[in-house]
Structure 1
Amino acid sequence: MNVPEVVEYSKSLPNVVYAGENLFTCSQDTQEKMKELIEEYKLNRVVVSSCSPSTHEALFQETMKETGLNPYLFDMANIRNHCSWVHRENHAKATEKAKILTRIAIGKARLLEPLYTLSLDVTQTGLVIGGGLAGITAALSIADQGFEVALVEREGRLGGNLNRLKRRPNGEKVDEFLESLVARVNEHPKVKTFLDSDVIAIDGYVGNYVTSIKSRVSGTVDDYEHGIIVITTGAEESKPQEYHYEDENVLSQLDFEDILEVDHKALSKMKNVVMIQCVGSRDEEHPYCSRVCCTQAVKNSIHLKKLNPKMNVYIIYRDVRTYGFNEIYYQEARALGVVFVRYNEDEKPVVDYIDDGENKRLAVRVKDHVLNSEIEIRPDRVILAPAMEPQKDSSELSQMLKIPLNEENFFMEAHVKLRPVDFSAEGIFLAGLAHSPKMMDETISQAKAAAGRACAIISSPEYISVANIATLDAEICAGCGMCVSVCPYNAPELIWMNGRQVAHINAALCKGCGSCSTVCPSGAMQQLGFKEDQTLVEINEALDML
């Protein structure tokens, strides 16, 4: 585009006392020049027509602060991404569009008002809900950084699903690993543990939460003050509704792990064991992969083959998904003689009973696509790999904190790449199986990430809120509550004022998303920095150019 032409046009607009061109407006030299121009021309509004405000607005606002100006008396016209890049084949039209975008920004700048952030005191303690691997790891990570943390677990012991796992794929004993973690929790002076306890109420906002914790044993309620929350409520193995799970010889993988380390003699006498994968998983009810099942089946099959190399172990699968480096255990199982038989979703295995003359025995029939015929196996045990599903009360916690769940009722992060352990609500984080099925090492990594994000808040005695929050004209508010229903951060609430119901904005919770102002039928709700008159002048400036 013709940048000098845009500069000359800008000089002709009302209230513009200076317009200039720079090669790199974001450079240190240009920032110093901007400070000098603000001082020389006594500027009280600044507009930059350049690149994206997403990446550079904060830089220019900081420059304004250094000159004594309010940083929100600034606006940007993105004539790079929105103009030159998308109209690179038509320079004349790109130049005209750049004029329009610049005029719009200048028009809004005339009506900009100083905005101010809110400083909130922070309670420098944390709360972790759920005492499984993720919860223990998050609590210890926070405590190791010097902050007090409360760890709430509904059961009478810590560990969650780890209490039922016996070995990791590499052969390490899980109980020894868990015992060391629990010992660290019990001995840590900064960790306060609530066992056999439920969270019954949570009030407050980032930096200032108060949670009521009720003991299942005594019924007493403790109120705990804290600055952040980490959700690590975990998941559980679903109960299969097929393949005769009610039979004592049909077990889930976790059921099987319960006896794997204690009944070697009986296990070693078995001749045939069949493991069936994706039981109630990757279907309409549970459309996701439970991630841990294939590795768990391979791990247990290796253990059986080492107990009795002559034992026939069959894994009937849809897809073998031993993620990452766990593929080496699949290769080891194949080398030990574990037989893998693939099936299609529309041709599932059939588990039934046959009469062998003395008593009824289990029989598994499945179509082998290599042989292109049905095979029958008469196993001593059938081991099922059911879906991992979230805790039943996830929805209660979701409603209590107003944090989202996905379609499968797992907690959903704010952004899978940019904020993978954050919720949209500030000060609340998640980790572990409460988020999605995952392996132990992934759970540990995510829990440490959540703890790190949490400590970024409680490491400071104060929290700075956003400035462009919603504001309310109570005189014209109708108290309809539409703002309350759409806010993802729980910022608006209805209160009684002078005998009538009106909305009230908690400035600490508001993130300036604008949802409330867009649905307000009376115009009482406005978003600072994007007020109605500021938006209308942008529209009018654009229309005047047509």
Structure 2
Amino acid sequence: EKTFTLDVGAVILAPGFEAFDPSRLDTYGYGHIRDVLTSLEYERLLASNGPYQGHLVRPSDEREPGRIAWIQCVGSRNIHQCGNAYCSSVCCMYAIKQALVTAEHCSGHELEQAIFYMDIRTHGKDFERYLMQAQQQGVRFLRARPHSIEPGPDNKGAVIQYVNDTGHLVSETFDLVVLSIGLEAPKDAHSLAAALGIELTAHRFALTSGFHPVSTTRSGIYATGAFHGPKAIPHAVTEASTAAAEAARVLRTARGTLTRAKTYPEERDVGVETPRIGVFVCSCGINIANTVDVKAVAAYAKTLPHVVHVENNLFTCSADTQIFIAQKIKELGLNRIVVAACTPRTHETLFQDTLREAALNPFLLEMANIRNQNAWVHQQDSQKATEKAKDQVRMAVAKAALNAPLNRLRVHVIQNALVVGGGVAGMNAALYLANQGFAVVLVEKAEALGGHARHLLENDPGEPVQPMLDGLIAQVENHPKITVLKSAQLKTVEGSVGSFRSLVDVGGTEREIFYGAAVLALGGRQAEPNEYLYGQDSRVMTHLQWDALMVQNPESVRAAHSAVFIQWVGSREPQRPYCSRICCTHTVKSALRMKALNPNMDIYVLYRDMRTYGMREELYQRARASGVVFVQYTLETKPRVGIANGALQVEVLDPILGRTLRLPADYVVLAAAVEPNAARDVIDLFKCGVNADGFLNEAHPKLRPVDLTVDGLFVAGLCHYPKPIDETIAQARAAASRAAVMLSKEEMQLAPSSPTSPINAMAVLCVWMSVLTTP
């Protein structure tokens, strides 16, 4: 053991989480029923390097399971047995993922899968489509919390007892039961907090503010990832950039003083050498090897011209394999490398760096994408997928033999930034960049800054929004490095990463701006409902209209006898098959506010699933404890709003009673969907992609969650996907942090070029001609 003393200007805490141990609960049989596993143990069963090499069998007798059940919320949403009142946010999605992967494993025999849940919380971007895919593939979703699990016949499998929707006790036998365990704070959270002088929440996660989502209670110390609270990987990666942004803000004056440039050995001149190609075929765990016979592909690669070495690796992208590849290059004099693995979009730079460390030009690498373009799309035909992989490797080897060293050109970076959108996201991004010393032009199409937040009362932790917003606007408008253009419209975009040029129309006058990177924070809007008498009766209103009424006329709310909230108005329906993420939390907060005004008011919430994820679950529990009545409905049994004797009346089928309830309502509040702003002109100017719902597409949801598909462009806020204010601020600062990395360079490298490009072009042309003319 050694003690090191480090002098630092900021600290970022990312100690992760602990997986919940279900042996603490006596109802699930974990630890004495062999075929009851945790979700992490099940993940190992599916892995090609797991205990059964990826062949799915149950532990008790190593037979293939025919019936598998997942039980959700084990160690989460539980205030009686473990004290974890919060939702762990990720469990529903990983259970659905495991069910879909299991179906791929067991495609050769009949399989039944069931997921027992309280609320399905697929609240992330494109998550709802994943749920729909599982439903279409026959996964049963049972709204029930099993009371107990008993051993199956002969101590094999397990028997689950639960109460179904009709109130009847049901007993089912499964071959495997998977416990979807939740996330807890690290065991040493208290000692870590004491050593650093920061405060923790009641659940031992780092305490932060909703308006400063990664800042702990001690200045200069930041928390990110699951230590800040349970979250999915895209949000964790985004928050990592947010923490980096906050640390960079503190360390701005010292930026660059301790940096060291990575050095590489001088490149070997391979121009006169005969091609000596090394081929590395990746199994990628189950991703490739479960479909493609990678050993057969490796054996085939040995027969190809110029190939002098072939390896099959479990994970070619691992650090150990990178060292191994570099060693083989030196030992065998390899001068071309082919990696048959996944997409070059995510891993090409990693392998290119390995070549540079081995004194080879990085563009002597060729990748064959046998995962995304083969194994993932041909899972039902292993033989043909293997033959296709051989073709892919053969083509990559042929191209690698013709590859020549290339050089990158360098261009000057315009160290200014453009931010499009003047809401909370855009202003946070602009302010961060300006505080880093970069000149920023903020373009807002409206007459005033503030965007959607102007209509909000408070954030999820209960902090008032308007004082924060007023202060933010004042900082932006008075910052010497920020030029604010209101009532402005972007007209043109020219150039590329590092050097963009645009014309902006400001009140009929065109202004020319130059910038090296841009953050798009185009915002979102509340969809206009077309049902439930909205627009026909003033007592039927949306969330935003309700917030306005609470501010303008709280006495009318206090005098009301009853109110009905209807969730999922326009969301999770064919025209918008996604979850709007913020509506459930807004409803329970509104219900609690109304109960505070009038504790005797009857408040009903009609919902399909309550998605108060993470720590927001405690708001849901408080609402239930205060007397708010929650009634679940389905897409087929949607509520009906009518008028009886001049009064509003809502009818809904109660699934527990099996009877239709008629609820009198002084007000009906609709949780209308959130949709992206109609900013097609800006999207077309920048040529960035959108998903099927019109939200801006990130370059990669886990590796580059705030980068857009066009280099030099970054995204934040509602135009990316609906999200609450704390997540919006975190994403905006993360996007600005990513942009600052680019803007901090005086020069940047462009796409490679060759000094002998005409010769190379002729060689490629000759190859293509031979391919086209060969029978």
Q: SS at the partner of 1:332?
A: helix
Ranked by relative contact order (alpha carbons within 8 Å, sequence separation 6 or more), the top structure is 1
One-letter identity of the residue aligned with 1:406: N
Q: SS at the partner of 1:362?
A: strand
Q: Identify the match of residue 670 of structure 2 among 342, 366, 384.
A: 384
How far residue 287 of structure 1 moved from its aligned partner, in angstroms, is 1.2
How far residue 339 of structure 1 moved from its aligned partner, in angstroms, is 1.0
- Contact 1:229-1:427 within 8 A present in 2 as well: yes
**Aligned-pair identity (%):** 37
How far residue 422 of structure 1 moved from its aligned partner, in angstroms, is 1.6
Determine the structure 1 residue equivalent to 2:521.
232
Q: SS at the partner of 2:698?
A: coil
- Structure-2 change in CA distance of 1:533 and 1:304 (3 Å): same
- Structure-2 change in CA distance of 1:128 and 1:527 (3 Å): farther
Determine the structure 2 residue equivalent to 1:116.
407
- Structure-2 change in CA distance of 1:46 and 1:274 (3 Å): same
Determine the structure 2 residue equivalent to 1:61.
355
- Contact 1:122-1:462 within 8 A present in 2 as well: yes
Question: What are structure 2's unaligned runs of at least 5 residues?
Answer: 1-294, 314-319, 371-387
- Contact 2:563-2:667 within 8 A present in 1 as well: yes
CA distance in 1, matches of 2:644, 2:489: 47
- Structure-2 change in CA distance of 1:187 and 1:99 (3 Å): closer
- Residues 252-305 of structure 1 show CA distances to partners (whole Å, capped at 9, x for unaligned) of 000011121332222111111111111122111111111111100100110000
One-letter identity of the residue aligned with 1:373: R
Q: Identify the match of residue 710 of structure 2 among 403, 413, 425.
A: 425
Larger Rg: 1
Matches within 5 A, 1:88-237: 108=399, 110-215=401-506, 218-237=507-526
- Contact 1:213-1:221 within 8 A present in 2 as well: yes
- Structure-2 change in CA distance of 1:528 and 1:300 (3 Å): farther
Q: SS at the partner of 2:402?
A: coil
Q: 257-266 vs 310-319, which deviates more?
A: 257-266
Q: Identify the match of residue 340 of structure 1 among 612, 627, 630.
A: 630
CA distance in 2, matches of 1:527, 1:439: 52
One-letter identity of the residue aligned with 1:354: A
Length, aligned pairs only: 455
Q: Identify the match of residue 660 of structure 2 among 374, 385, 410.
A: 374
Q: SS at the partner of 2:705?
A: coil
CA distance in 1, matches of 2:564, 2:393: 70
How far residue 408 of structure 1 moved from its aligned partner, in angstroms, is 1.4
Q: Identify the match of residue 241 of structure 1 among 526, 530, 550.
A: 530
Q: SS at the partner of 2:484?
A: strand
CA distance in 1, matches of 2:548, 2:702: 37
One-letter identity of the residue aligned with 2:650: V
How far residue 116 of structure 1 moved from its aligned partner, in angstroms, is 2.0
- Contact 1:104-1:538 within 8 A present in 2 as well: no
CA distance in 2, matches of 1:103, 1:364: 66
- Residues 439-464 of structure 1 show CA distances to partners (whole Å, capped at 9, x for unaligned) of 11111121122112111211111121
- Contact 1:213-1:222 within 8 A present in 2 as well: yes
Matches within 5 A, 1:126-525: 126-215=417-506, 218-246=507-535, 247-355=537-645, 360-392=646-678, 394-467=679-752
Question: What are structure 1's unaligned runs of at least 5 residues?
Answer: 39-44, 80-96, 474-525
CA distance in 1, matches of 2:628, 2:673: 23
CA distance in 1, matches of 2:609, 2:389: 54
- Contact 1:47-1:76 within 8 A present in 2 as well: no
- Structure-2 change in CA distance of 1:213 and 1:472 (3 Å): farther
- Structure-2 change in CA distance of 1:312 and 1:527 (3 Å): farther
One-letter identity of the residue aligned with 2:455: R
Q: Identify the match of residue 764 of structure 2 among 522, 531, 545.
A: 531
Determine the structure 1 residue equivalent to 2:243.
none
CA distance in 1, matches of 2:571, 2:601: 28
CA distance in 1, matches of 2:410, 2:368: 30
How far residue 225 of structure 1 moved from its aligned partner, in angstroms, is 0.8
- Residues 362-387 of structure 1 show CA distances to partners (whole Å, capped at 9, x for unaligned) of 11111111221111122111111111
- Contact 2:412-2:746 within 8 A present in 1 as well: yes
One-letter identity of the residue aligned with 1:192: T
Q: SS at the partner of 2:643?
A: strand
- Contact 2:337-2:400 within 8 A present in 1 as well: no
How far residue 99 of structure 1 moved from its aligned partner, in angstroms, is 12
How far residue 59 of structure 1 moved from its aligned partner, in angstroms, is 3.5
- Residues 18-67 of structure 1 show CA distances to partners (whole Å, capped at 9, x for unaligned) of 9899x988549x958966987xxxxxx81357886946632343146x5x
- Residues 520-541 of structure 1 show CA distances to partners (whole Å, capped at 9, x for unaligned) of xxxxxx997993445789999x
- Contact 2:439-2:481 within 8 A present in 1 as well: yes
Q: Please give the TM-score of this superposition, normalised by the length of structure 1.
A: 0.73
- Contact 2:329-2:335 within 8 A present in 1 as well: no
- Contact 2:338-2:365 within 8 A present in 1 as well: no
- Structure-2 change in CA distance of 1:440 and 1:25 (3 Å): closer
Q: Please give the TM-score of this superposition, normalised by the length of structure 2.
A: 0.52
- Contact 1:395-1:409 within 8 A present in 2 as well: no
- Structure-2 change in CA distance of 1:220 and 1:374 (3 Å): same
How far residue 402 of structure 1 moved from its aligned partner, in angstroms, is 1.2
How far residue 143 of structure 1 moved from its aligned partner, in angstroms, is 1.4
CA distance in 2, matches of 1:74, 1:37: 16
How far residue 105 of structure 1 moved from its aligned partner, in angstroms, is 7.0
- Structure-2 change in CA distance of 1:257 and 1:190 (3 Å): same
One-letter identity of the residue aligned with 1:379: A
One-letter identity of the residue aligned with 2:353: L
CA distance in 1, matches of 2:302, 2:511: 67
Determine the structure 2 residue equivalent to 1:495.
none
Q: SS at the partner of 2:634?
A: coil
CA distance in 2, matches of 1:291, 1:208: 36
- Contact 2:337-2:364 within 8 A present in 1 as well: no
How far residue 234 of structure 1 moved from its aligned partner, in angstroms, is 0.8
CA distance in 2, matches of 1:114, 1:48: 12
- Structure-2 change in CA distance of 1:396 and 1:271 (3 Å): same
Q: SS at the partner of 1:398?
A: helix
One-letter identity of the residue aligned with 2:665: P
- Contact 2:504-2:512 within 8 A present in 1 as well: yes
CA distance in 1, matches of 2:426, 2:413: 22
- Structure-2 change in CA distance of 1:529 and 1:449 (3 Å): farther
- Contact 2:339-2:366 within 8 A present in 1 as well: no
- Contact 2:338-2:397 within 8 A present in 1 as well: no
How far residue 343 of structure 1 moved from its aligned partner, in angstroms, is 1.3
- Residues 79-124 of structure 1 show CA distances to partners (whole Å, capped at 9, x for unaligned) of 9xxxxxxxxxxxxxxxxx9999999877655533332212121111
- Structure-2 change in CA distance of 1:125 and 1:101 (3 Å): closer
Determine the structure 1 residue equivalent to 2:385.
none
Q: SS at the partner of 1:170?
A: coil
- Structure-2 change in CA distance of 1:407 and 1:105 (3 Å): closer
Q: 258-267 vs 120-129, which deviates more?
A: 258-267
